């Protein structure tokens, strides 16, 4: 392989495909970037067996060919090259790639091409297209509710979002057991029927990588164990998470069960909860208490070691007075996901012991296709 290409194009491509490199590779080859030069283009690939990237950029091809170069060093070299024109020649018989730019010259030892697990663009049993803005909204309003990636050993199924397609309706649902976020959107065309669990990390990476200022279509393909999303010159793929996602609809409170509804300013609420959590966060459960009565919400927290916090904010309260407690982080995450200045809290009634331990919902009037459910915490 012998090519000439622009430094800015090379850096752009490496910044994306380097996200697929293994930090602690199972085998050394997974730290490499697979490069193929042909037909006026350079294709770059990376994979860690769970996440994979394919990206093409324009290049002047002097000799077609394939090579694998160490991803970390290639990326670092590219950023430091002095000129816009870059040449990469891997035809040397001594296993060295020669990289030139301006007066600078580097060599990198190539890796064994035959060892690289080359990615193939999948066909998929189900394929459909979605606007990038639509995907971004679905991910923004669901993925945050997943179990964190570092906790995947406990319950890997909860580190992903369930993608549910029914005709033209697509729904993302995510939970970590203590909270649930569900967001639906309508597609322009019928996409069939499917239900799979996609790693939240992959979805967030797709929206960061593909979604830009100029609206674009994202082509999605699913098979029994893989999903791919692509737009333009970028192709990303991931393994699906195996297992059965819980029946989340059963935990969403029905309209008949709601005893108290509270409408309030989202920013005011978030600020008050954040202030209360300065005290609450010293406890592992980060508990803040909410009380609703006569057009007001009282937010409080306490810590025997630190002190107490209490604040009252205006709220439009309909129905029964209520007291309830939550993990402050779960409340603030909900507010960040909203697009409206106003949020709506819906509470079910207390149990026979007078305790409010049923899940509540948080939603917004501007988006009837979004709901967030959070479980209260027991305080005594």
Domain boundary among 248, 263, 280: 248
The greatest distance separating any two alpha carbons of the chain, rounded to the nearest whole angstrom, comes to: 82
Does pLDDT of 339 surpass 70? yes
- The DSSP secondary-structure symbol of 201 reads H
Angstrom CA distances, 4 to 55, 87, 89, 243, 331, stand at 17, 4, 9, 47, 52
Phi-psi region of 68 (alpha: psi -120 to 50; beta: other; left: phi over 0): beta
Identify whether residues 7 and 110 lie together within a single domain: yes
Residue 10 lies in a domain: yes
Q: What is the pLDDT of residue 64?
A: 97
Residue 86 lies in a domain: yes
- The DSSP secondary-structure symbol of 30 reads G
pLDDT digits (tens, 9 = 90+) for 112-140: 999 999 999 987 678 999 999 999 999 99
Identify whether residues 346 and 266 lie together within a single domain: yes
Does pLDDT of 164 surpass 60? yes
Range with lowest mean pLDDT among 74-88, 140-154, 187-201: 140-154
Share the mean pLDDT of the chain.
Answer: 92
Q: What is the pLDDT of residue 215?
A: 84
Phi-psi region of 307 (alpha: psi -120 to 50; beta: other; left: phi over 0): left
Higher pLDDT, 304 or 372: 372
Does pLDDT of 356 surpass 70? no
Does pLDDT of 353 surpass 60? no
Burial of 363 (C-beta count, 10 Å sphere; 0-12/13-18/19+): buried
Q: What is the pLDDT of residue 306?
A: 86
Domain boundary among 186, 221, 248: 248
Q: CA-to-CA distance for 370 and 142, rounded, in angstroms? A: 9
Identify whether residues 201 and 313 lie together within a single domain: no
Q: What is the pLDDT of residue 214?
A: 79
3-state SS string over 113-138?
HHHCCCCCCCCCCEEEEEEHHHHHHH
CA dihedral 331, 328, 323, 335 (to 10 degrees): -20
Identify whether residues 53 and 165 lie together within a single domain: no
Do the strands 234-239 and 51-58 form a parallel or antiparallel pair, or are they unpaired?
Answer: antiparallel
pLDDT digits (tens, 9 = 90+) for 34-83: 999 999 999 999 999 999 999 999 999 999 999 999 999 999 999 999 99
Identify whether residues 92 and 133 lie together within a single domain: no
Q: Identify the domain containing residue 176 by its residue range.
A: 126-248
Could you give the count of Cα atoms lying within 13 Å of 240 in the half-sphere of its Cβ?
20
Task: Categorize the per-residue pLDDT at 354 as very low, low, confident or very high, splitting at 50, 70 and 90.
Answer: low
Q: What is the pLDDT of residue 279?
A: 87
Residue 154 lies in a domain: yes
Task: Categorize the per-residue pLDDT at 283 as very low, low, confident or very high, splitting at 50, 70 and 90.
Answer: low
Which candidate, 49, 361, 45, places its Cα nearest to that of 199? 49
Angstrom CA distances, 238 to 70, 152, 224, 359, stand at 22, 16, 12, 33
Q: What is the pLDDT of residue 379?
A: 73
Report the chain's C-alpha Rg in angstroms: 25
Residue 120 burial (CB count, 10 A): 8
Identify whether residues 24 and 66 lie together within a single domain: yes
Identify whether residues 213 and 146 lie together within a single domain: yes
Residue 219 lies in a domain: yes
Q: How many residues does the chain have?
A: 380
Identify whether residues 205 and 240 lie together within a single domain: yes
Q: What is the pLDDT of residue 150?
A: 66
Q: Do 82 and 101 form a contact (C-beta atoms < 8 A)?
A: yes
Residue 44 lies in a domain: yes
Q: CA-to-CA distance for 250 and 333, rounded, in angstroms? A: 22
What is the mean predicted confidence (pLDDT) over 146-172? Answer: 88
Strand-pair partners of 232: none
- Phi/psi at 337 (5° precision): -80, -10
Q: What is the pLDDT of residue 232?
A: 92
Identify whether residues 272 and 229 lie together within a single domain: no
Residue 121 lies in a domain: no
pTM score, whole prediction: 0.91
Task: Categorize the per-residue pLDDT at 212 as very low, low, confident or very high, splitting at 50, 70 and 90.
Answer: confident
Domain boundary among 186, 213, 248: 248
Identify whether residues 243 and 263 lie together within a single domain: no
Sheet with strand 234-239: strands edge to edge: 65-70, 32-38, 41-47, 51-58, 234-239, 226-231, 217-222, 126-131
Residue 380 lies in a domain: no
Total structural domains in the chain? Answer: 3
CATH number (domain holding residue 365): 3.10.150.10
Range with lowest mean pLDDT among 8-22, 156-170, 200-214: 200-214
Residue 63 lies in a domain: yes
Strand-pair partners of 48: none
What is the mean predicted confidence (pLDDT) over 215-236? Answer: 93
Range with lowest mean pLDDT among 152-156, 276-280, 319-323, 332-336: 152-156
Task: Enumerate residues 6+ apart whose C-beta is below 8 A from 275.
Answer: 309, 311
- Phi/psi at 31 (5° precision): -95, 5
Q: What is the pLDDT of residue 380?
A: 61
Higher pLDDT, 281 or 110: 110
What is the mean predicted confidence (pLDDT) over 17-46? Answer: 94
Q: Do 297 and 315 form a contact (C-beta atoms < 8 A)?
A: yes
Identify whether residues 225 and 318 lie together within a single domain: no
Identify whether residues 260 and 315 lie together within a single domain: yes
């Amino acid at each position: 392989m012998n090519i000439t290409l622009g430094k800015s194009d090379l850096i752009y491509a490496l910044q994306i495909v380097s996200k697929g490199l293994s930090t602690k590779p199972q085998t050394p080859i997974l730290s490499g970037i697979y490069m193929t030069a042909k037909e006026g283009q350079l294709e770059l690939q990376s994979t860690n067996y769970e996440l994979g990237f394919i990206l093409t950029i324009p290049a002047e091809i002097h000799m077609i060919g394939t090579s694998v170069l160490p991803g970390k060093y290639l990326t670092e070299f590219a950023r430091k090259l002095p000129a816009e024109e870059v040449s990469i020649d891997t035809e040397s018989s001594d296993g060295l790639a020669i990289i030139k730019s301006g007066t600078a010259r580097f060599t990198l030892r190539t890796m064994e091409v035959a060892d690289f697990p080359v990615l193939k663009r999948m066909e998929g049993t189900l394929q459909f297209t979605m606007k990038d803005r639509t995907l971004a909204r679905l991910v923004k309003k669901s993925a945050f509710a997943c179990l964190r990636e570092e906790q995947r050993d406990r319950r890997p199924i909860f580190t992903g979002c369930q993608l549910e397609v029914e005709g033209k309706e697509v729904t993302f649902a995510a939970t970590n057991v203590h909270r649930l976020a569900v967001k639906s959107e309508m597609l322009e065309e019928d996409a069939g029927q499917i239900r799979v669990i996609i790693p939240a990390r992959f979805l967030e990476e797709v929206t960061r990588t593909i979604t830009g200022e100029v609206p674009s279509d994202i082509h999605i393909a699913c098979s029994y164990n893989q999903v791919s999303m692509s737009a333009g010159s970028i192709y990303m793929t991931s393994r699906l998470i195996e297992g059965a996602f819980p029946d989340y609809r059963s935990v969403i409170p029905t309209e008949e069960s709601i005893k108290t509804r509270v409408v309030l300013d989202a920013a005011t609420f978030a600020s008050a909860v954040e202030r209360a959590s300065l005290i609450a966060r010293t406890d592992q459960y980060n508990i803040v208490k909410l009380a609703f009565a006569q057009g007001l919400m009282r937010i409080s927290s306490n810590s025997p070691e630190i002190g107490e916090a209490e604040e009252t904010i205006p709220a439009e309260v309909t129905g029964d007075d209520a007291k309830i407690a939550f993990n402050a982080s779960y409340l603030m995450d909900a507010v960040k996901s909203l697009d409206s200045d106003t949020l709506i809290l819906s509470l079910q009634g207390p149990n026979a012991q007078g305790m409010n331990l049923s899940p509540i919902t948080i939603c917004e009037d501007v988006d009837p296709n979004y709901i967030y459910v959070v479980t209260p915490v027991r305080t005594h």
